């Protein structure tokens, strides 16, 4: 699939685009299976440590994590792409259908950006405590979580749900057109967010997206996650891509080439190498990786 001229113009005018039916269930299944297996392993470990009493093995992917999380918040520790370093998610970052769309916006020399997440937004009514920043992300632009040396890099966000993301399950809200203003001041208190006095007076659009669809966003497009009022988990993946060689905005974390017309041999296909790069990362304790 390629973006049509109409879609390209819409993205360039509004700073975001929702593309339905990009992924088949076969594209997403390996990632869902891997997340389910990771969850199962974590649950087994916590049970052995006496931190869980019930495994809820019969609960489906859309519900099980919440049942486990209610018993022990510890289950979510490091449960993210760079925390469990799974092969299925690594392969998904090179999904050809996805890269065909990335190529329409960024050209043929593509790298996967290390700012990437798996998010499980639990039903608000189930978690029995305030949802954290990671789950109910407040208004921000993604460039606020990058270092200023990447100002000139086009870093584009590709967000996809693993269940239907709707107003009820807690999809994103997006401010159209605002990206043209460039960076808006953010603050770090309560999670990286646009300073309230600077929040644009723009009516947001609801970025509902069915499973299989994709939401594409410019790094200056303000967006937030809304509350999950349903009884299923709003699972999603957010990936970013940039042109190979451009500053990634997170230089201490590994970027890697996923497609190249000029040097196809440079594409990283070895999951072991990718894991090694992440394991070798040295972070300075207490130093923010965000712009504020």
Ligand X SMILES: O=C(O)CCC(=O)C(=O)O
User: Given the rule CB under 6 A, which residues bind ligand X?
Assistant: 119, 137, 142, 157, 159, 172, 223, 225, 236, 238
The dihedrals phi and psi of 143, each to the nearest 5 degrees, come to -65, -15
* CB-nearer residue toward Fe ion: 142 or 164: 142
The partner in contact with residue 119, picked from ligand X, Fe ion, none with C-beta cut-offs of 5 to 8 angstroms by kind, is ligand X
The partner in contact with residue 172, picked from Fe ion, ligand X, none with C-beta cut-offs of 5 to 8 angstroms by kind, is ligand X
Burial class (CB in 10 A: 0-12, 13-18, 19+), 211: middle
Half-sphere exposure of 139 (CA within 13 A, CB side): 20
Q: How far is the CB of 158 from ligand X (least distance, A)?
A: 9
Q: How far is the CB of 182 from ligand X (least distance, A)?
A: 17
Closest CB to ligand X belongs to which residue? 225
DSSP category for residue 153? S
Return the percent helix, strand and coil in the chain, to nearest 5.
Answer: 30, 20, 50
Q: Distance of CA 19 to CAs 2, 111, 117, 161, 218, Å?
A: 10, 21, 20, 12, 14
* CB-nearer residue toward Fe ion: 75 or 143: 143
Residues that bind Fe ion (CB under 5 A): 142
Kindly report the number of other CB atoms within 10 A of residue 248's CB atom. 25
The partner in contact with residue 236, picked from Fe ion, ligand X, none with C-beta cut-offs of 5 to 8 angstroms by kind, is ligand X
The dihedrals phi and psi of 12, each to the nearest 5 degrees, come to -70, -20
CA dist., res. 244 & res. 239, Å (int): 15
The partner in contact with residue 86, picked from ligand X, Fe ion, none with C-beta cut-offs of 5 to 8 angstroms by kind, is none
Q: How far is the CB of 49 from ligand X (least distance, A)?
A: 30
The partner in contact with residue 82, picked from Fe ion, ligand X, none with C-beta cut-offs of 5 to 8 angstroms by kind, is none
Q: How far is the CB of 4 from ligand X (least distance, A)?
A: 24
Dihedral of CA 239/245/246/249: which sign? positive
* CB-nearer residue toward Fe ion: 38 or 151: 151
Q: How far is the CB of 193 from Fe ion (least distance, A)?
A: 11
Please name every residue paired with 223 in a beta bridge, in sequence order, or none if there are none.
Answer: 140, 174
* CB-nearer residue toward ligand X: 136 or 266: 136
* CB-nearer residue toward ligand X: 52 or 160: 160
Alpha-helical runs (H) found in 116-185: none
Question: At 54, is the secondary structure helix, strand, or coil?
Answer: coil
The partner in contact with residue 159, picked from Fe ion, ligand X, none with C-beta cut-offs of 5 to 8 angstroms by kind, is ligand X
Closest CB to Fe ion belongs to which residue? 142
The dihedrals phi and psi of 243, each to the nearest 5 degrees, come to -75, 135
Please name every residue paired with 207 in a beta bridge, in sequence order, or none if there are none.
Answer: 172
* CB-nearer residue toward ligand X: 51 or 224: 224
Q: How far is the CB of 68 from ligand X (least distance, A)?
A: 20
DSSP category for residue 140? B
Q: How far is the CB of 204 from ligand X (least distance, A)?
A: 13
* CB-nearer residue toward Fe ion: 39 or 174: 174
């Amino acid at each position: 699939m390629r973006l049509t001229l109409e879609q390209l113009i819409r993205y360039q005018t509004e700073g975001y685009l929702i593309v339905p039916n990009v992924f088949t269930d076969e594209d997403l299944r390996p990632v869902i299976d891997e997340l389910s297996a990771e969850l199962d392993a974590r649950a087994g470990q916590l049970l052995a440590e006496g931190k869980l009493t019930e495994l809820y093995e019969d609960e489906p992917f859309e519900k099980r994590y919440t049942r486990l999380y209610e018993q022990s918040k510890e289950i979510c520790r490091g449960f993210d792409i760079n925390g469990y370093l799974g092969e299925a998610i690594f392969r998904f970052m090179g999904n050809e259908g996805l890269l065909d769309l990335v190529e329409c916006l960024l050209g043929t020399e593509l790298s996967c950006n290390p700012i990437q997440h798996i998010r499980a937004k639990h039903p608000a009514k189930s978690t029995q405590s305030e949802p954290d920043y990671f789950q109910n992300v407040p208004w921000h632009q993604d460039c606020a979580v990058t270092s200023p040396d990447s100002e000139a890099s086009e870093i584009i966000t590709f967000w996809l749900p693993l269940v239907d993301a709707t107003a009820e399950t807690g999809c994103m809200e997006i401010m159209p057109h605002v990206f043209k203003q460039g960076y808006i001041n953010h603050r770090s208190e309560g999670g990286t967010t646009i300073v309230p006095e600077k929040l644009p007076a723009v009516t947001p659009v609801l970025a509902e997206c069915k499973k299989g669809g994709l939401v594409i966003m410019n790094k200056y497009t303000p967006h937030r996650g809304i509350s999950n009022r349903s009884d299923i988990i709003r699972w999603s993946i957010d990936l970013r891509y940039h042109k190979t060689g451009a500053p990634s905005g997170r230089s201490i974390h590994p970027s890697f080439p996923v497609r190249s017309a000029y040097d196809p041999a440079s594409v990283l296909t070895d999951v072991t190498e990718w894991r090694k790069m992440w394991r070798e990362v040295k972070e300075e304790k207490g130093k923010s990786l965000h712009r504020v």
